[in-house]
Amino acid sequence: MKRALRWTVGVLVAVAVLALAALVAIPFLVDTPRMQTLIASGASQALGRPVRFASISVAVFPWPAVELYALEIGEDPQFGTAPFLKLDTGRLALRVRPLLAGRVEFGALTLTRPGITIIRNPDGQLNIASLGAGDLRAGARAGRGGAAGAGTGGTGAAALAQSVRIEKGTVTYVARGGAGALTRYRAEDVDLTLTAGAALRFDGGARLQPGDLTVRIAEGRLATNGARSLAEAPLSALVSVEGKDVGALVALGAGAATSVSGAVDARLTVGGTLGAPTAAGTAELASPRITQTVPACPEPKGRTLAFGTLRLADLSWDAGRLGSRAVTTSVGGGTIATGLTVTLDHGARVALDNLAVKALPLETVLVDFLCLGYAVSGPLDLAGTLAFDSVRLAKTLSGAGQLRIGRGRVVGRQALALIGGVVRIGGAVSSMLSADVPASLFTSPVEFDSITGTYQIANGVVSTRDLLYVSRIMKVAVVGEYRLDSGRMNLDMVVNHGRGEVRAKVTGTPASPSIRVAPSTKTLERGLRELLKRFR
């Protein structure tokens, strides 16, 4: 028994000594200059880009590997001269048994803290489109056949490594627009594992900046077999996005004047190709809030509008266009439902179709948030469409629809002054109007029964042909247009007070309106001019 134990211990010691000796001998078994040439030429051929590194060395512990120093993968010349990928050290594992038999076979390639830059030019082309142009098909065949030995003449990405592990990487996405405009997104702490085979499989995660959003990728698959380049390879993956606040990310497209905040949770199925990915799924923005500085407001100038949970069903992304067939949210006790399309091209172009607003409390929006001089309160029902550029809303807003505001009040100072001015000036023509509608009525909020009408908006110019204001003492019909950016008006108003009516032409701006009442005579016009001076 003791003798058997001594034999066993002896054998184990011998094996350990032989293994240690083999490991120590590994650096002497590897032809370092030949290895450097093999790796550089094989990687360059597989990627269709120059691959450079300053030097290599063979490490034994903790596992045999070739360490690559100052590794760079060149950029497509159409996109610049800075490297596409750059890192200080890469580690390419060596398979021990083939090495002891005189063959060099590689295992996993580990890239620690690499910096990768993906560029999209104004024509929509990506710098990764030319990756793999040299030998993508050969790489896929080598991947199916397992690891290739140095002496077999194997080429392609899989000939160099069976898998690639990216640890703590940084990926910068640069979208180049016209006139030198740039938009940058950055993925940090990128941990990604890529495994070669009939298709390139990948999974991992990252943090997207700005916004500090957590992105997780599962069941990723890139079908490189048959594709002419990586950009054309069919892509599939399951992606989740979570973050406490999307404010910084939204600011890239919407600009800094208006901020949007809220926690995001999205679940997406990714398809398309690597160069032109698509996505479909759902997303939810919890407790979204819009904040902006409104010069027209009394202090505080910064105003915030809070929404209920924003849900986007049937969400899709394709060719720079984000869409959702069913977007729902709420403000106060009112609800909003619409279809949404956002086109990201030199900013964000937003289109809302099948817009349906029910019982939206206007005072919350027009008075508390926007501080409009023409504000009214009351529940709004609206059906129609709207479209606008996020950074130039007042000059680009367009759409059409119909609206109804239920029982409420005219609370905006400029709206009260305008209606009061028409009535007062009309009193110079109609003594009945002066008696029926005292001027003091318009020094404080005025109650109305309803406001109804249809609207057309073209590049920030709002027009209507049938706006009707109805209150207990009068009806006011309005036809004309209003410019959102300058506030200039060109309105025809008819005030019906039961026993007669007054017709008025209103031009100018809300701060300085010009009112003319028909019929017009020289004497009346002189009197009106004197009266108007008091209102300016």
User: What is the DSSP secondary-structure string of 174-210?
Assistant: EEE-GGG-EEEEEEEEEEEEEE-SSSEEEEEEEEEET
Q: Evaluate whether residue 328 is within a structural domain.
A: yes
| Whole-number pLDDT of residue 103 | 65
Same domain, 253 and 187: no
| Whole-number pLDDT of residue 323 | 95
| Whole-number pLDDT of residue 351 | 96
All residue ranges of the chain with pLDDT < 70 are 1-33, 60-62, 96-104, 132-161, 178-181, 227-229, 252-257, 345-347, 412-445, 498-500, 519-536
Q: Evaluate whether residue 217 is within a structural domain.
A: no
| Whole-number pLDDT of residue 16 | 42
Q: From residue 153, how far is each of 33, 104, 147, 188, 224 by CA, in Å? A: 17, 11, 12, 37, 21
| Whole-number pLDDT of residue 535 | 40
Q: How far is it, in rounded angstroms, from Cα 304 to Cα 110?
A: 47
Domain of residue 259 covers: 244-371
| Whole-number pLDDT of residue 416 | 62
Same domain, 170 and 33: yes
Q: Evaluate whether residue 231 is within a structural domain.
A: no
Pairing relationship of beta strands 450-458 and 398-405 according to DSSP bridges: antiparallel
Q: Evaluate whether residue 8 is within a structural domain.
A: no
Same domain, 177 and 123: yes
| Whole-number pLDDT of residue 451 | 94
Same domain, 340 and 453: no
Same domain, 266 and 333: yes
Contact (CB, 8 A) for 273 and 231: yes
| Whole-number pLDDT of residue 445 | 64
Same domain, 199 and 248: no
pLDDT in tens, 394-426: 889 999 999 999 999 888 666 666 666 655 555
Q: From residue 93, how far is each of 98, 104, 161, 164, 193 by CA, in Å? A: 12, 10, 8, 10, 15
| Whole-number pLDDT of residue 115 | 94
Count of domains observed in the chain? 3
Q: Evaluate whether residue 5 is within a structural domain.
A: no
| Whole-number pLDDT of residue 325 | 93
Q: Evaluate whether residue 528 is within a structural domain.
A: yes
